[in-house]
Structure 1
Amino acid sequence: MADDVEVLLQMYREQHDQARQLETQRATLSNLIIVIASAALGFTAQHGLETIMLVVTLPMVGLGVYGVLACLKYHERSVLHHRAARLFSCRIEERLPSLLISDDWAELHARQRLRFPKIFKVRLYALWIALHAGIAASGATLSAVVFAHGL
């Protein structure tokens, strides 16, 4: 039985490591997009909203949309790895029921929900998506202003 638990524990760790790696990749990509969008906004502010600035503002739309799609994909993969880890955790608890893993997790979850009732419902991935959508909207708005004044 100890060997079974050791295998399950290793599989559990692997799933959490994969989820952690995805979060690191998401953070790196988001930081890169934020830096590029900030530079584009700064460049646009310096040079004004002339027709030539569409080469800066239109790619911002694509960059923001790409960020949204990437965050959605990272979230999907993260959910997969967290569910797999939970599955392995349940298998460990089946072999070692005295650990009470599910009971402890449920209690911790309930306490967290009570302590932070409003923010608990907000999904972190939704905040990242909103950030990237804001970048896309900024590019679209600036492009629309350029079109309205220049073309």
Structure 2
Amino acid sequence: MYKKIIVPIEIGSIEKGEKIFRKAAELLDNGGEIILLNVVEDIPTYVAIELPGNIIEDAMKESRERLGGLVAKTGIPAAVEVRNGSPATAIIAAAEERRADLIIIASHIPDIYNYFIGATADRVVRHAKCSVLVDR
């Protein structure tokens, strides 16, 4: 069905990530590609002053390791990519750069500010140029 699928995974919710990763494998064409993506958010400067200088690099390294572990655990072949920045912006940029035809994103139970889906999923749905499947 799809040739290239971006699967953004929040490392703190790796179980949800595994669920959508398996769904991506079911929707993938033969010879297609899945890209597991994690985005490490920037830390505001006023907070970063109090933290170790390599905190972002360490978080990115941990993300690569955890996503690699997910690939090993499931046995589903996938590329692993870790970016830094705003999650929605980075997800959309990855999809455009990789010419993805689907993004599968997990959504948490929303609060009053984003009643239907979570904030990141909402932004991705609104601005992505490819199809987006939101899993709850």
Q: Point out the structure with the larger strand share.
A: 2
**Which protein has the bigger helix share?**
1
Q: Which has the higher contact order (CA 8 A, sep 6+)?
A: 1
Q: TM-score, normalised by structure 1?
A: 0.27
TM superposition score normalised by structure 2 = 0.29
